[in-house]
Each structure stands twice: as C-alpha cells, then as structure tokens.
Structure 1
Amino acid sequence: MKKLLLFLFFASLGIKSFAQTIIQGKVVDETTGEAIPFVSLMIVGTQTTSITNENGDFTIKASNLPVKLKLSHVSYLISETDVKSLSDNFVVKLKQASINLSEVKIDPYLGKRILKNALEKAAKYKDENHYLKVFYRQLTSVNNNPTKIHEIFYDIKWNVTRTTGWIAKQTRFAESKNQIAFDLSNQSYFTFGSSGYLIQPNSGTFITTKTLDKYTIEVERYIEQADQDIAVITCKIKKAGKKQFYTNSTYYVGTEDLKIYRLENNILNLPMNLSNGSNFKYPPIVKTIATFKSTSDSVSVLESISTKMYLSVNYMDRMRSSDLSAIVSSLLTVYQEDDSLKNESFQSVKRDTKDKNIVESIKYNADFWRNNPIVKQTSLEDKFSKMMEGQNAFGTMINP
C-alpha cells in the first residue's frame, strides 16, 4: 500500500514504583448520565492529580485508603467524595453549575473587554516557564479502523504561549499493516504549539490582543461557580478568505481573577502537503480542547490538551483513484509539575521533528508500561493496544 505523509506548516520520570493503590472510576453528569471528559481530580492533602479521558474514565494512584477525591470542571460544581475501598463500578456524579444569561445582552462589548484584559494579564507572564511531566498518546484511524498508536512520556518546558522545550523519556509505538499506511508525521508539534492560551503564530489568524478587531466576540453565558462566575466567550472571525488559515475560539475566563481555564479551537484551512500527488477532498478540520488549572500563581497552568484532526483524502493506488477518511487524535495530560526539571537540557520544539523517529530512538521498556497507572485509555485505544500487545507489536517492531 502507498504511504501518505503529512507535514504541518505551523509556524528521570517521577514514577518509581507501581505498588500502590490504583483507584479507577468514571465521572458522569448527575442529570443525563453522560460521561464528562477532562474533569480534574486531586487527592486532598497531596499533590497527586489526574484527569478524565474522553470517555470520562480516570485512574489515580493513592499511597493508601481511605482518601478524599476533589473533582472540578469549569461547567460543574466542585465535588469531593470519600474513597474507602476499591470498586469495579466506581462512578462519581457531578452537578452542572447554574447558567446565567441575564447580563449577556446588556453590554455587547463586555466579552471583548474581559478577553482583552485576560490576555493582557497573561502576557505579563509570557517568559515565566513551568516544568511539567506529561503523557502523550496519538491514535490514527483510517476508514473507522485504528491503524497506528504511539505513546510518549515527556518532560516539557511550558509557558502561557506554548510548549517551548521537550525531552522524551519513555516511548512505545505500534501499527497495523492491514490498512493503508497513512501517517501524520508531527502531530506532537501541533499539540505543543497549541498548548498555550496566549497564542502568537507565525501564520494564520488566531485570537491575540492584536487581532481582536477581526473577530465578533460575545459572552455566550456565565457559569456560576462558588468563588466567581466563569464567562464563556465565543470568538468568530468576521471575514475569512477561502484559503485563509484561521481559528474560531471559545474561552472560559474567570470574571474576578481573569484567568483562562479552558480554550476550545476550531481550526480551518490548515495548510498541509500530501505526498505522491494525493489531494484533499475537503479542507482539513482540526478541533482542540485545552484545560488549565488554577494555582497560587497569577496564571493558569496547562493541565491537558486534546486534538482531533479530520482528513478526507483522494490518493492514487496502483493507477486507481481511491478515497480515505482519517482521524488523527491525541491527548496530552499533565500528571506532575516539577521545578527541578529546569536543570534539564530541553530540545526546542520544531515542526520538522518526526514523532516516530523520537519513539524509535528510545529502547522499548515493557516493564515500565505494564500496569502503569498514568496510561489511561479510551475503549477504542484500549482495544487496539491490547491487540498490538498480543502480537508483540510494541516497541520498534511492526506486526506482520
């Protein structure tokens, strides 16, 4: 099968032992029963944190039981629950925060002022680095079938603009040859570049303090939390060229502290090249969701970022034209902030870095990955990973 390559044009681990109590569960909406992704979890009285994946599932390690879990999400009320014993069906229900629409239409310029103030506040800290331990997983699916997965533990250097440095610590990779070998070569670069909220790209149009006038900016609603309201601010570009690279965004901003807690981007007309004369049937669509946790600092620090790239491609195979649909999804989650990492030698984030090359540069350590509590998976990822493990396909190996 022909291999398609895509290139984007965007300008020691602290795990010593897994002999601990592993709490697993699911977080759902109290009213609808639907899973809630990207819920922050913390064991009260410790620095141990985690986050739910896209299915609302979570895993968090505790030194012993009982413990108290604190759960928070920008659209739900903060909740605490006691965990006294392990359960195979541990479900936590969160109550939606109240929505206030009464002030939304009174001042049409309020959203722009709140967002401008939040961005200007963040800009004061753009040179302040945070050092984070993160886990990254990327899954490629072609025509609804998973074909490739790779996972990386990184140490990263992050600021409110983006991730500026990285070091790969542990990696694994596997792919199936039962499907066309479709590859997005540097999705991690895109994820790193999208991980901040003071975005200053070299090309395209993103929300910055200098581009606010190019957008229609409105407060969609307020989410009433105990300490302050969260303004949900939508930003839609007023006029975009047919081939212009731009994003429409939604910001979740604290009305009192002016911290940004969540950023959702819909990125359109992303410039990309396809190899071997292939072409896009439709322009690529990219969706990102980044969450940020409040600390004692004046800015919110990266907690997670999810990216999904939707691609529809026409390619030539043995002199025949064929179509394929691909989804390349990734999730980066922060599991520890560690200032001692500042002494490490970080590599610069570059768009020509190839993810697979990074994975294969580190010897696969099966013992490290076995029962690792940080490695949370959705059902699709879990099914594909188990199939690859059963075929001894992880590491630098590829299944026959």
Structure 2
Amino acid sequence: MMKHAVYGLLVLLGLISTSTAGQTIRGAVLDQSSQQPIPFATLYWPATGQGTLSNENGDFELPAGPVPAQLIVSHVSFQTDTITVAAPADHQRIQLKPAVHQLAAVTVSNAGYVLIRQAVAKIQASQQLAYGKAFYRQLTRNGEQPTEIQEVIYNVKLSPVKVEGVQIANARYARLPSDAQKMYYHFSNFSYLILGQKAVSEGAPSAGRVLLPMRADVVDLYDVRVADVLIQPNGESIAELDCQVREGYANPAFSGKVFINMTTHDLVKLEGTIPNSLGAAMNTDKVQTRNFVYTLAVDYVKREGGNFMNAIRVGVTFEQLVKATGQTRTNRIQGFLLMNDLSNTATVARSAFKRVDIHVEDLKAIQRVTYNPAFWRANAAVRRTPLEENIINAFEQQGVMGTMTFDDL
C-alpha cells in the first residue's frame, strides 16, 4: 500500500468563512511601489475576529460582515495598513507600502541571540489558550499531474507554542488512482507536518526532532546575524534575523529567517528550509526518492490578548524515479493551516479536542465525514487560485471528489 505517514516536523493554521452570498469583499493585495501581488498577506476584521490570507497570486476573499468596518492588512515585509471598507466589493485593490529599512538601528553584535532568547522566554511564560476555527488545504502534484487535494475545517485549541488539540468540523478529499506505471505518491498524514508544528525547539537536539533556532541555547547551535530592521508605522521595529545551523550538525534542522518585534519581543515569523526527508523517503524495487527539501513558514499575530500562530505553510519537493518506466519526475506537496475566530472560550466541548498525534491519521477521520459540495462552494476560507479551482472541478468531473479509498496502489 502506497500510503505514507510522514514523521516528525512542523507547521501551518487556518480560518473559515460563513457569510451569505453577496456579503463578501474580494480583491487583491499589491505592492504600492511595483504593483506586484503580495502573496500570503494577512487580512483581519478586528471587530469580528475573522480574517484570511491572500493566496499565491495576492488575491483574497473575505466575508464582509457589518460595514462600514476597519480591515487590518499586514505582511512582514510591508507597512501594516488599516482600510475602511464601506460596502462589499468584488474588485478591492489594497496597496501596501514597503517597510522602512533601518539596519543602522542595531549595533550590538550579539543582538540576534538576545532577541531570540527574549522571544523564547516570552512564549514559554505565556499560559494563554485560544479556541476557534482553522482551515487546512493540501495539494499534491506528481510531476505536472495534480493527484491529491484535501480541505479541512477544524475546531482548534491553540497555545502560543503549538496546536494543542483539534476536532474535524467538515472535510473533503480526493485522489487519483495509481498503478505500477504511474506510482503516484500519496500522503495519509501530511497534515501532521503542520498541525504538529511548534514555535520553539524543546528538549536536547536529536535525530528524532527537527531543530529550530527558537530555543534558549541558540548560541550553541546557530550562527545568527541581524540582516535588516523593518520599521512599522506605529514606530515598532521588527528585526530580520538570518539563522543558519552550524556546519556539521547532522540531524534535521531549519535554516532561514526569523522575524522578532524588537519593541514587544514577540515572534512575528519564521521562514526557511529543512533539507531532509523527515521519514518520507521511499526506496523499493519499484520506486526511488531523493533530494527532499522542506520549506516552512509560520506567521504570528496578536489575537485575544496573546501572540498566536496565524498561518503555517509547508511545502515538500523531491525527485521520484519510477523504475517501470524509467521516468524521473519532481513531486510537490503544499499545505497550509490558517487560524480564525479565536477567543478565550471553546465553541465545542473541550473534551472533543484530540491531541495532535502522528499516529492519528486525518484521512481516516475524513472518511467518516459526509461530503457536501454546496458547503465547500460557499466556504473557500482562503481564495482558491485558478489552478486549485480547475483541479477541484476536474476531480468532481471524474467522480473522485469527496470519496475515500484505501486500496493498495
């Protein structure tokens, strides 16, 4: 059976839209200077707690709610802006100014290490819990062929460190059948890489843990330098830290950028790569896999009196050789999780939340959910790209959308 539970890593959280037709704001987030789209910007109604992300093309869709209302739009590389929305609209263009750079503001050579330790201490000291909705989307492509898509709405319990528990509220899934010639690569538990993501590395470094720079002993394991300082309109400074794991460290480790608010010591964002298979490699008499690279991005936002993960994105790219055909193709899996409607009060019984566990497979839980196509047409949560819309339509036409099969491939 070609279903793979993926072992050991991190990341990405979501949100859900429940507005009625016609009460929606749609548009694009753009760089004011270049007029280029800004992917994965956060849009958030402070009055209702609902929000979304712009998609890869900078496009967004969001329930309008009572208007006029203020909409906060942010991205770590741009100046946060507050837009007054007078009425629902289909072609809203939101332009963000690039962040002001002021690297000269940092002169202490070990400032990066100090900032990380301060942010880690603040996260570890927080006992705040939040409850709400999370939206998950996953897309798998084997070569140029889309082979798998999954969308889930979770009830979620969240701490500043991680996702503490989930309950599936609604879900759908589809995958194309495989055979000895196609040998499509499927994941039965890719969502663990996102739901199991932690902000802070805990415990001693080991082969069973992915090393992150957000740890108290960062100075022993990482080279950290302040690469930039971004000034926000409210006067707060955000440090961009370049964090590279020390040469010679053999276990799975993240290297990339960490953004920390120098004024509040809050973690703002992690963004980087992990060049490791993390247990997903498969080498048999039929296939070989190699050159795994994981990309990881975790965004934080202040909600309900705490600083919580807002969105987690994970991508995996690897080469697969199908021995029956001699074909080598590049496979890609992308998934993200977006948080929404967070509050201090659980919307479902607290006993309903299940601990995130590598051995609890989402697909088996999704199998028990009745597929409701009309629900999903009205609840995109994060606006689908034309590619994603075409894939879903194609799967619908082939009759595989919403079905679950666990036959040997």
Instruction: Name the TM-score, length of structure 1 as normaliser.
Output: 0.88
Contact 1:214 1:239 in 2 (8 A): no
- 1:220-263 CA-partner distances (Å, limit 9, x unpaired): 1100012310011111011235x531111321111111001111
Instruction: Name the CA shift for 1:156/1:252 in 2 (closer, same or farther; >3 Å).
Output: same
Q: Which has the higher strand share?
A: 1
Aligned to 1:122: 123
**AA paired with 1:206?**
L
1:330 matches 2:335:
yes
- 1:249-291 CA-partner distances (Å, limit 9, x unpaired): 3211111110011111311223324264433232x11111111
Instruction: Name the CA shift for 1:15/1:176 in 2 (closer, same or farther; >3 Å).
Output: same
Contact 2:49 2:340 in 1 (8 A): no
Q: Give structure 2 stretches of 5+ with no counterpart.
A: 10-14
CA distance in 1, matches of 2:334, 2:380: 21
Written as runs of structure 1 = structure 2, the 5 A alignment for 1:187-206 is 187-194=190-197, 196-200=198-202, 202-206=208-212
Give the one of 176, 182, 199 matched to 2:185: 182
Contact 2:315 2:335 in 1 (8 A): yes
Aligned to 2:100: 98
CA distance in 2, matches of 1:15, 1:281: 39
**Residue 81 of structure 1: how far off its partner (Å):** 2.6
CA distance in 1, matches of 2:353, 2:28: 35
CA distance in 2, matches of 1:5, 1:340: 34
Written as runs of structure 1 = structure 2, the 5 A alignment for 1:1-400 is 4-10=2-8, 18-19=20-21, 21-43=23-45, 45-104=47-106, 106-125=107-126, 127-177=127-177, 180-194=183-197, 196-200=198-202, 202-207=208-213, 208-225=215-232, 226-241=234-249, 244-272=251-279, 273-274=281-282, 276-277=284-285, 278-282=287-291, 284-295=292-303, 297=305, 299-317=306-324, 320-338=325-343, 339-341=345-347, 343-396=350-403
- 1:289-348 CA-partner distances (Å, limit 9, x unpaired): 111112363x4111111110111122433xx54322111001111121142246242112
Contact 1:20 1:64 in 2 (8 A): no
**Residue 154 of structure 1: how far off its partner (Å):** 0.7
RMSD of aligned C-alpha atoms? Answer: 2.5
CA distance in 2, matches of 1:19, 1:34: 29
CA distance in 1, matches of 2:365, 2:39: 28
Aligned length: 387
Instruction: Name the CA shift for 1:268/1:51 in 2 (closer, same or farther; >3 Å).
Output: same
CA distance in 2, matches of 1:63, 1:162: 29
Aligned-pair identity in percent equals: 23
**Residue 142 of structure 1: how far off its partner (Å):** 1.1
**AA paired with 1:119?**
V
**Residue 138 of structure 1: how far off its partner (Å):** 0.3
CA distance in 2, matches of 1:101, 1:15: 39
CA distance in 2, matches of 1:281, 1:309: 12
CA distance in 2, matches of 1:42, 1:158: 18
